[in-house]
Amino acid sequence: MARLAVWLFLAPLLPGIINKVKAWVAGRRGPPVLQLYYDLARLWRKGVVVSTLASPGFIAGPAIAWVAVLAAALLLPLGPLGTSLSFRGDVILLIYLLALARFCTAWAALETGSAFEGMGAAREVSYAVLAEAAVITAVLTLSMQSGSVSLSAMLTPSVGPGAVLLAVGLFAVLLAENCRVPFDDPNTHLELTMIHEVMVLDHSGPPFAAVLHGAAMKLLLFSVLLVQAVLPIGELSVAAASGAMIGGVLLVTVAVGFTESLTARVAFRRVPLLLTTAFLLCVFALLIAWKGGAA
Amino acid sequence: MTMDWFIAGAVVMLVAAALSGARYPRVWLALTLAGTATLLAAAFWTLGGGAEWDWRSSFAVGGERMHLHLDALSAWFLALVAVVGGGGAVYARGYWPDDEHPTSAGRGRAWWSTLVLCMGLVLLCANGLHFLMAWEAFALSAYFLITLERERRETRAAGWLYLAASHAGTLGLFAFFSLLATKTGSWDLGPMHDHPELAPLFWVALFGFGVKAGMFPLHIWLPSAHANAPSHVSAIMSGVAIKMGLYGLVRFSGWLPLPSGAGWVVLALGATSAVLGAAFALAQNDLKRLLAYCSVENMGVILIGLGATLLGAANGDAAWGRLAMAGALLHVWNHGAFKALLFFGAGSVLHATGTREMSRLGGLWRAMPWTAGLFAFGSAAISALPPLNGFVSEWLVYLGLFDAAASHTRVAVAIVPATIALGVTGALALAAFVKASAVVFLGAPRTQTAAHAHECGWWMRAPMLALAGICACLAMAPAAVWPFVSRLLAAWRSAGNGGEPPVPLVTLGSMHLALAASLAVAAIALWFRARTNGVRRALTWDCGYAFPTARMQYTGGSFAALAVGWFGWVLRPERRLHWPRGPFPHHADFVERIPETVLEKVIGPVGDVVMAASAWARQRQQGRLPDYILYLVAALAAMGALVLFGSI
């Protein structure tokens, strides 16, 4: 229950923190940290405009994607709170639940028959190929280090020297999967420069609220995964672990904010290069883990 | 004793069906359904723990007494043959009826029952000679089914290519079985671990069975054959016939001693097939060709599992090897079910619109809601998405691979790239199926034929619903199939150290159930909330155009363009582009064709060289008798010299 509350109610805080950091770097005051909560409440009350071409899948898509992200989040151990359910191989279920969310978002994007969403969906599913390679390599590294395929066992031991490489690789994947600069700009609404933003262009009202909340949950999920893959949270006491977890997630969020402010979005032809670099970093972390185990 | 009656009854019913297919469609349907139901019962009885059935005949066929053997491994594949055979028979009644195809419908029915019968015989034969005879008969029946529509040039070409490739594989199998018979002294097949000299024969078997299974460099016949065949034939070919090749590989890898390096090679071939199959699938614009390449990809996934198993077997019969095999064999069933479902859906689209070309379709969900829904279900299943069955088998394969990687032995060198390849394949397959379902069913119709589509009848819908139901059962209750899979693994190769590690399938099954329930509840809740707030319909906003057309939609080619660019080194797309010119351009077009690279860029040139060489050799034939006598004398002299000097 506490876990569910954290995922549902604390997730929308993160985009607010990122926007505040970006505003501070730019010398502005920026929107309030709780802005996303107000937006979600407002959208939940609004009506929906649906294209004449869209099938019922257009409304079901965001719902299914939201439940998939929430289910993946509940599988992830949340520091001292642990996880609702842990079994051998749950990490693979997590990866494929995120894939289910991607399938439904891309499906809903192509429902309206608009060229813009098609563009975004095409880019999203193509870049996901490289992002998946990086994620699988990172998970393999964690599995090799701990000798287990279960998230609660994988994330608790402290990470060896490959921690830095893994951290950078996972951070790049976080930026790619959550449509952050330098892969994608969450602020512009120009179709030619977007991946995720343009896929949800035609959603409105409660489905759009589901989309925004799901995106926030996904950001929190990747941040928690990153923090737990790098810091030995499981070995600290409860109070220290909660402090480390909260501190770590805040650090990751502020880092995302700084990355968004200080770098520019790269041209689309360079995105595969960046993702391949992230993949190679994870491969090096894997090699370190393998050699460490063999020695 | 009862099993004798079951098998004999099934054979009799299928033979009767084949004979009555030409002129009595209702009798044929009843007999085929009864025959396949009997086969299914026999298979379930064996899988459920019944004793293995062994039968030797008193009469001889081709000089050898018949020896039929049904164990859990054969039963697993036999059940798949029965289900898809029966489902396809029902589908054919709606898809290929007598009034639309007066000449070929009867032939199709007869050959269908023959195909099911021959595939069953292949699975049952335990004698090398009869295995070959049944194999050849099955390949020929498939050829006649592929070329039912003989009037079309592409179908004839596809049939020829299939026959040529199939016979190349059968040649390999001839070599394999003959060598086996020579070395062991009899045509009988069974576990042969005490003959280490048989190990190199595995490579011959890999070639022969690999051609049929659609392994990467040997898959050249698969895309055109499965695309141009009638859809129910494509379903049984993709869902079942290629599994016969896999059955051969699995069976003989269990019965024969393995050469060192077998696991490495199979794993590498599997990973290549998976990634390149998925890339080719993403690039296709023909719906059935896309599905065919996806079969290559799924065969790659199964071969990854098999390769990991062979590696495990070579490394002291590791438990992770058997886990990977469990995943691979479960994937055989899962893939059979959802691939048949997808081909039936594609057949429904083809029946309604007359075209397989995705750029001419679109917006079909309105006219064909059942087909659209079931095709979407199949797409989610084949992309290995929870809570569906494709995920369960890939999850098992992943568990085996992860355990292998964590064992910190030398096999990790091959296992780690294979795991990454499996992850990349999943993402590519997801992209391919978003493209396939969205371009065909969503948006607006791109041509008039798509606008005038109609839903298929209940004869075509019922098998699709049955297959979807099977997928759902396998997804929600995977623990129920686990005892079958354990028996299967024991039949493959008896476990040295007590079998497979416990797998939390019950947890996975309950998670799937909970997930499916939450998904349904969430979708309905969101729909109701939207309805309460008020839903307004409007034209899709396309940058302010007042009258957007269907051609403004994203096309399948553009959707895949990014990934096709990355894989351009193997896909080699051929593009012909006429730019619009001037301020009022009157004509512009763009045609893109993805060739079958191995066929057109590798085998084609080699074939050209062979033809050129034989054209040169034909110059030696001038029709003059003295020349021919000279050739004969020269040949005799050469043979004499060979014998003389060979004996010294």
Cβ separation B423–A106 shorter than 8 A: no
Residue B624 burial (CB < 10 Å; 0-12/13-18/19+)?
exposed
Q: Is the pLDDT of residue B224 over 60?
A: yes
pLDDT band at B139 (very low <50, low <70, confident <90, very high): very high
- What residue ranges do the domains of chain B occupy? 262-494, 598-647
Max Cα separation, chain A? 63
Residues 460-499 of B with CB under 8 A from A: none
pLDDT band at B496 (very low <50, low <70, confident <90, very high): low
pLDDT of residue A193: 65
For chain B, the average pLDDT equals 91
How many angstroms separate the CA atoms of B496 and B190, rounded? 18
Cβ separation A272–B566 shorter than 8 A: yes
Rounded to an integer, the average pLDDT of B483-493 is 86
How many angstroms separate the CA atoms of A42 and A56, rounded? 23
Q: Is the pLDDT of residue A138 over 60?
A: yes
For chain A, the average pLDDT equals 89
Residue A211 forms contact with B (CB below 8 Å): no
- Minimal-distance CA residue of chain B relative to A67: B519
Cβ separation B431–A129 shorter than 8 A: yes
Q: Is the pLDDT of residue A168 over 80?
A: yes
Residue A248 forms contact with B (CB below 8 Å): no
How many angstroms separate the CA atoms of A101 and A124, rounded? 12
Rounded to an integer, the average pLDDT of A73-96 is 87
Chain A residues whose beta carbon lies within 8 Å of the beta carbon of residue B508? 87, 89, 93
User: Token pair 């490489």 is at which residue?
Assistant: A165
pLDDT band at B153 (very low <50, low <70, confident <90, very high): very high
- Minimal-distance CA residue of chain A relative to B367: A55
pLDDT of residue A185: 81
Chain A residues whose beta carbon lies within 8 Å of the beta carbon of residue B512? none
User: Token pair 């880019």 is at which residue?
Assistant: A123
pLDDT tens track for A40-52: 999 999 999 999 9
**Is the omega angle on the peptide bond into residue A182 within 30 degrees of 0, that is, cis?**
yes
Cα B198 to chain centroid, rounded: 29
pLDDT of residue B308: 94
Q: Which of A59, A115, A137 sits opposite B552 (nearest CB)?
A: A115
User: Token pair 């499906």 is at which residue?
Assistant: A107
Q: Is the pLDDT of residue B209 over 90?
A: yes
Q: Which residues pair with B537 in a beta bridge?
A: A50
Residue A50 forms contact with B (CB below 8 Å): yes
Q: Which of A93, A97, A279 is the best mutation test for B, with the most CBs of B within 10 A? A: A93
Rounded to an integer, the average pLDDT of B462-469 is 95
Q: Is the pLDDT of residue A294 over 60?
A: no
User: H-helix or E-strand containing B134?
Assistant: helix B128-146
How many angstroms separate the CA atoms of A285 and B485, rounded? 36
User: H-helix or E-strand containing A48?
Assistant: strand A48-51
User: H-helix or E-strand containing A16?
Assistant: helix A13-25
Residue partners of A164: CB distance under 8 A and separation at least 6 = none
Enter the pTM of the model: 0.94
Rounded to an integer, the average pLDDT of B89-114 is 91
Residue A83 forms contact with B (CB below 8 Å): no
- Minimal-distance CA residue of chain A relative to B368: A55
Count CB pairs under 8 A between chains A and B.
244
Residues 261-280 of B with CB under 8 A from A: none
How many angstroms separate the CA atoms of B385 and B391, rounded? 5
Residue partners of A287: CB distance under 8 A and separation at least 6 = none
Residue A7 forms contact with B (CB below 8 Å): no
How many angstroms separate the CA atoms of B439 and B359, rounded? 7
pLDDT tens track for A244-282: 889 999 999 999 999 999 998 888 888 999 999 999 999
Residues 125-144 of A with CB under 8 A from B: 125-126, 128-129, 131-133, 135-137, 140, 143-144
Chain A residues whose beta carbon lies within 8 Å of the beta carbon of residue B413? none
How many angstroms separate the CA atoms of B481 and B331, rounded? 12
pLDDT of residue B440: 94
Cβ separation A51–B362 shorter than 8 A: no
Cβ separation A50–B536 shorter than 8 A: yes
Q: Is the pLDDT of residue B303 over 90?
A: yes
pLDDT band at B554 (very low <50, low <70, confident <90, very high): confident
pLDDT of residue A160: 66
How many angstroms separate the CA atoms of A134 and A18, rounded? 24
Residue A269 forms contact with B (CB below 8 Å): no
pLDDT band at B92 (very low <50, low <70, confident <90, very high): very high
Q: Which residues pair with B590 in a beta bridge?
A: B577
pLDDT tens track for A194-218: 788 888 888 999 999 999 999 999 9
- Minimal-distance CA residue of chain B relative to A97: B386
Q: Is the pLDDT of residue B304 over 60?
A: yes
Q: Is the pLDDT of residue B537 over 70?
A: yes
Cβ separation A202–B518 shorter than 8 A: no
pLDDT band at A295 (very low <50, low <70, confident <90, very high): very low
By the 8 A CB rule, do B412 and B308 touch? no
Residues 347-386 of B with CB under 8 A from A: 362-363, 365-366, 372, 376, 380, 383-386
**Which residue did the predictor score with more confidence, B194 or A251?**
A251
Q: Is the pLDDT of residue A19 over 90?
A: yes
pLDDT tens track for B586-612: 888 888 889 999 999 899 999 999 999
Rounded to an integer, the average pLDDT of A20-48 is 94
User: Token pair 């050959």 is at which residue?
Assistant: B111
Cβ separation A290–B412 shorter than 8 A: yes
pLDDT of residue B501: 66
Chain A residues whose beta carbon lies within 8 Å of the beta carbon of residue B534? 47-48
Give the range among A165-174, A177-186, B374-383 with minimum mean pLDDT: A177-186
Q: Is the pLDDT of residue B290 over 50?
A: yes
- Minimal-distance CA residue of chain B relative to A189: B543
Distance in Å, alpha carbon of B243 to nearest chain A alpha carbon: 26
Neighbouring C-beta atoms of residue B639, cutoff 10 Å = 11
- Count the residues in chain B: 648
